């Protein structure tokens, strides 16, 4: 779940297999739901909170939605199939979502996608990462492909602008990289760990 505070009350937003549920954090009382059933009962990502807005995304051709949470009610601003996160979350940066659109079993057609938060329109797409993961720091995308390639690119809605690319691991990578003090830690499915110094 994702915790957030609104008008003095702390809430939890949880995407379960059937819906987005918003509950009070103090006593667990559910105050709002938004139906979001997906194929195979698989909603694997965590909601992204931005003020009164909540973003959810699911794979298996389900798509994503941006909702307003106001007066303890949920109302969709838009829904679209243009950004379908299978299990790794998108990231919100300067009013744009960056994330992998597609499923792990179809890695060759998964696209890193930049989506306008306000309109739900695609700004650009880029292939070659499979069902990888990413984070954003210092205005840069730090992307780990599902085949172990670590990539940095400018976090810009204008276009995909790659900065660097380096093969760091050889097995399947579905774990989100971790950034700490300029060092990026990456792990693969075999349990191997790589550390890359981005300060150089």
Domain CATH code at residue 126: 2.40.128.630
Is residue 33 a contact partner of residue 14, using CB atoms and an 8 Å limit?
no
Q: Please report which confidence band the pLDDT of residue 39 belongs to, taking 50, 70 and 90 as the band edges.
A: confident
Predicted local distance difference test score (pLDDT) of residue 99 = 98
Among the candidates 81, 96, 113, a domain finishes at 81
Q: Are 109 and 198 contained in the same domain?
A: yes
Do 149 and 96 lie in one domain? The reply is yes
55 and 93 belong to one structural domain: no
In a shared domain, residues 103 and 42: no
Q: Decide which of 39, 64, 81 is a domain's last residue.
A: 81
> Looking at residues 129-158, what average pLDDT do you find?
97
Beta-bridge partners for 161: 154
What average pLDDT does this structure show over 20-40?
Answer: 96
Average pLDDT over residues 184-188: 98
CATH for 3: 2.40.10.480
Kindly state whether residues 45 and 20 are assigned to the same domain.
Answer: yes
**Over residues 117-144, mean pLDDT:** 97
What integer pLDDT is reported at residue 40 of this predicted model? 86
Kindly state whether residues 118 and 143 are assigned to the same domain: yes
Residues 179 and 144 in one domain: yes
Percentage of the chain beyond pLDDT 90 is 91
Q: Are 192 and 101 part of one and the same domain?
A: yes
Are 52 and 122 in the same domain? no
Number of structural domains in the chain: 2
The pLDDT, as a whole number, for residue 106 is: 67
Q: Would the pLDDT of 29 be above 70?
A: yes
Do 133 and 177 reside in the same domain of the chain? yes
Write down which residue in 51, 81, 111 finishes a domain: 81
Question: Which residues are bridge partners to 112 per DSSP?
Answer: 100, 126
What does the radius of gyration of the chain's CA atoms come to, in whole angstroms? 17
Alpha helical stretches, state H, 43-185:
none
pLDDT, mean of residues 20-41: 96
What pLDDT, on the 0 to 100 scale, is given for residue 107? 58
pLDDT at 105: 76
Count Cβ atoms below 10 Å from residue 62 Cβ, excluding itself: 21
Mean pLDDT of the residues in the chain: 96
Phi/psi at 8 (5° precision)? 85, 0
pLDDT of residue 77: 98
| CA-closest candidate to residue 130, choices 108, 101, 162 | 108
Q: Residue 9: which domain range? A: 1-81
Query: For 74-121, what is each residue's pLDDT tens digit?
Result: 999 999 999 999 999 999 999 999 999 998 876 578 999 999 999 999
Q: Are residues 108 and 68 in the same domain?
A: no
- Taken as a whole, the chain contains a residue count of 200
């Amino acid at each position: 779940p994702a915790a957030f505070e609104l008008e003095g009350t702390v809430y939890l937003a949880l995407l379960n297999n059937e819906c987005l549920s918003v509950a009070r954090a103090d006593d667990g009382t559910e105050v709002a739901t938004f139906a979001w059933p997906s194929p195979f009962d698989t909603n694997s990502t965590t909601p992204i909170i931005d003020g009164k807005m909540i973003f959810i995304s699911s794979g298996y051709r389900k798509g994503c939605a941006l909702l307003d949470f106001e007066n303890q009610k949920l109302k969709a601003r838009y829904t679209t199939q243009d950004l379908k996160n299978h299990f790794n979350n998108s990231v919100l940066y300067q009013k744009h979502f960056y994330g992998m659109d597609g499923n792990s079993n179809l890695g060759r057609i998964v696209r890193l996608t930049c989506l306008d938060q306000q309109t739900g329109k695609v700004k650009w797409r880029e292939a070659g990462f499979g069902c990888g993961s990413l984070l954003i720091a210092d205005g840069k995308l730090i992307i780990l492909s599902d085949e172990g390639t670590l990539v940095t690119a400018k976090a810009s809605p204008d276009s995909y602008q790659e900065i660097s690319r380096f093969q760091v691991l050889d097995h399947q990578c579905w774990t989100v990289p971790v950034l700490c003090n300029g060092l990026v830690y990456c792990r693969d499915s075999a349990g191997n760990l790589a550390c890359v110094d981005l300060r150089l």
